[in-house]
C-alpha cells in the first residue's frame, strides 16, 4: 500500500506526473494533456496535479508546471492573475438583513459585471471612479512600456475594466464562517487586457515554433525559450497583468464593502482577516536545488503557513486554508472544486429546477444563464479537500448566503 497521498503517472519520454486525485475524477483527455506537457524537455522534476484537475485550453487546469529555460504561455492561459480575495468583517449573521435581496442588488450595482451595460461592453465602467483611476496610476507607466512595443494591446479596455468582475465563473459572495461571522469574497482576474496579453504571446510562441520547425504534441504548448526575442517581454507583461489582477480585486472588494455599508445599518470593520491570492500565474521560485519558473494554472501557492482560498461551486462551501509547504506539490494546492461538465454540457444536462433546488439556500440568480455554474457542473468540494489533506489545513469553512455571478 502506498504511503504517498498522490498517484504517479509514468509515461515513456515524459517526466513523472504526481496527481493528488484520489477520490476525484481525472478525465482521460486531461490525463493525455498532462502527459503532453510532461514531455516538454524543460520541465523540472515532475508535474504536480491538483484534485480539481480538468481539461483546459493548451494546458490542464489544476496543474503546476516547473520549468527551467522556457515558459509555455498557454500553460498560464489568458485569464492571467485570476484569483481570489476574501475579507472577514466584524459583522455576525444576525447583523444581516432578513431579506438579502437588497444586499445582492447593492453589490450588483456597485461592481460592474457581465449583466451590467457599460462603456464599450458588458461589465465596464462608464466613468471610472476615483479608486480605479488611483489604481491605474500605479500601473500606467509599465503598461506604456508594453504597448510601446506591442501597440495592439493598447486597444483593450484596460482602464475601464479595472475594478470590474467579468463573466463566467467570476463571482462576489457574502459568506458565514463556522462562528457565523460575515465574510466578503470574490473571484476575478486581469479581465480583457490580461486576455489580450495572453492571446498575443501565445500566438508569438506559435510563430516561433513554426519558424524554428519545432514539432509539439499540441500546438498550444508552444513555448518561449529564455533569451529569445519575446521571452523577457512576456515575463514583464505577465507580471504586470498579475499586478493588475490583484489591484482589480482590491478595488472591487472596497466597492463591495461600501455597498454593504449602505444596506447594513450596523457599523462594521472589514479587514479583520484578509487573503488575496492568484491561481493563474507564473512565479520565480526555488525547487529541487534550482531556480525555476513555476506556472500554476488553476492552482494556488501553499507555502508553509501561507493563507489561501479554495472556493466551492455556487451554493456549496468554500475554505480559507493554510499551506503545509509540501515540496512534492511544489508548495501548491487546488484553486477550487474543478469542473466535471463543460459549460455546453451543463446547459444540456442540468435543468432549471435542479439549479434552483441546489441554490435554494443562497440569495442569487436562478435563471438559465447561470446553469453552467450550477453545483452539479463541479466536483464535490469535500472530495477535493480530502484529496489534498497533506497540502493544506482548513482555517475557516465558509458557506454562501449571497452570490453575485458575472
- According to DSSP, the residues that pair with 198 across neighbouring strands are none
CB atoms near residue 47 (< 10 Å)? 25
User: Taking CA 148 as the corner, what is the angle to CA 147 and CA 152, rounded to the nearest 5 degrees?
Assistant: 45
Catalytic residue among 255, 335, 355, 396: 335
Dist CA 18 CA 51 (whole Å): 11
Can 279 be counted among the known catalytic residues?
no
Give one word for 168, left, alpha or beta, with left for phi > 0 and alpha for psi -120 to 50: left
Dist CA 110 CA 184 (whole Å): 14
Place of cell 508548495: 331
Dist CA 237 CA 250 (whole Å): 20
- According to DSSP, the residues that pair with 137 across neighbouring strands are none
Q: Is 142 exposed, middle or buried (0-12, 13-18, 19+ CB in 10 A)?
A: middle
Would you say 51 and 387 are in contact if contact means Cβ atoms under 8 Å apart?
yes
Contacts of 179 (CB under 8 A, 6+ apart): none
CB atoms near residue 315 (< 10 Å)? 21
Report which of 355, 348, 304 is spatially closest to residue 326, judged by C-alpha positions. Answer: 304
Report which of 52, 129, 96, 92 is spatially closest to residue 377, judged by C-alpha positions. Answer: 52
Q: What's the farthest any 2 CA atoms get from each other in the chain?
A: 65
Dist CA 230 CA 225 (whole Å): 9
Total length of the chain: 406
Strands 47-54 and 17-19: parallel
Strands (E), 143-203: 171-176, 181-188
Q: Give me the active site residues, please.
A: 335
Amino acid at each position: 500500500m502506498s504511503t504517498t497521498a498522490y498517484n504517479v503517472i509514468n509515461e515513456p519520454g515524459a517526466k513523472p506526473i504526481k496527481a493528488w486525485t484520489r477520490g476525484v475524477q481525472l478525465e482521460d483527455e486531461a490525463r493525455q494533456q498532462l502527459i503532453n506537457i510532461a514531455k516538454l524537455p524543460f520541465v523540472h522534476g515532475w508535474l504536480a496535479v491538483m484534485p480539481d484537475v480538468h481539461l483546459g485550453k493548451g494546458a490542464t487546469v489544476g496543474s503546476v508546471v516547473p520549468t527551467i529555460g522556457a515558459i509555455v504561455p498557454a500553460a498560464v492561459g489568458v485569464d492571467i492573475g485570476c484569483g481570489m480575495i476574501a475579507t472577514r468583517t466584524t459583522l455576525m449573521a444576525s447583523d444581516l438583513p432578513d431579506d438579502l435581496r437588497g444586499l445582492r442588488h447593492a453589490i450588483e450595482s456597485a461592481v460592474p459585471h457581465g449583466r451590467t451595460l457599460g462603456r464599450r461592453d458588458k461589465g465596464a465602467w462608464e466613468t471610472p471612479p476615483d479608486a480605479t483611476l488611483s489604481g491605474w496610476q500605479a500601473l500606467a507607466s509599465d503598461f506604456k512600456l508594453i504597448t510601446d512595443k506591442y501597440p495592439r494591446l493598447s486597444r483593450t479596455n484596460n482602464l475601464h475594466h479595472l475594478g470590474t468582475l467579468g463573466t463566467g465563473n467570476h463571482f462576489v459572495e457574502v459568506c458565514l464562517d463556522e462562528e457565523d461571522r460575515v465574510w466578503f469574497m470574490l473571484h476575478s482576474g486581469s479581465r480583457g487586457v490580461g486576455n489580450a496579453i495572453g492571446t498575443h504571446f501565445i500566438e508569438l510562441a506559435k510563430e516561433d515554433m513554426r519558424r524554428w520547425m519545432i514539432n509539439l504534441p499540441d500546438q498550444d504548448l508552444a513555448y518561449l525559450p529564455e533569451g529569445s526575442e519575446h521571452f523577457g517581454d512576456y515575463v514583464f507583461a505577465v507580471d504586470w497583468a498579475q499586478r493588475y489582477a490583484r489591484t482589480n480585486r482590491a478595488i472591487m472588494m472596497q466597492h463591495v464593502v461600501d455597498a454593504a455599508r449602505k444596506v447594513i445599518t450596523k457599523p462594521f470593520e472589514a479587514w479583520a482577516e484578509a487573503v488575496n491570492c492568484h491561481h493563474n500565474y507564473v512565479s520565480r521560485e526555488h525547487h529541487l536545488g534550482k531556480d525555476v519558473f513555476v506556472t500554476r494554472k488553476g492552482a494556488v501557492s501553499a507555502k508553509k503557513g501561507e493563507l489561501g482560498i479554495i472556493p466551492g461551486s455556487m451554493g456549496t462551501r468554500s475554505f480559507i486554508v493554510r499551506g503545509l509547504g509540501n515540496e512534492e506539490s511544489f508548495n501548491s494546492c487546488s484553486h477550487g472544486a474543478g469542473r466535471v461538465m463543460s459549460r455546453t454540457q451543463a446547459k444540456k444536462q442540468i435543468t432549471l429546477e435542479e439549479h434552483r433546488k441546489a441554490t435554494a439556500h443562497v440569495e442569487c440568480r436562478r435563471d438559465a444563464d447561470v446553469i453552467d455554474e450550477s453545483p452539479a457542473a463541479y466536483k464535490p468540494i469535500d472530495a477535493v479537500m480530502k484529496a489534498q489533506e497533506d497540502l493544506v489545513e482548513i482555517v475557516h469553512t465558509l458557506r454562501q448566503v449571497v452570490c453575485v455571478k458575472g
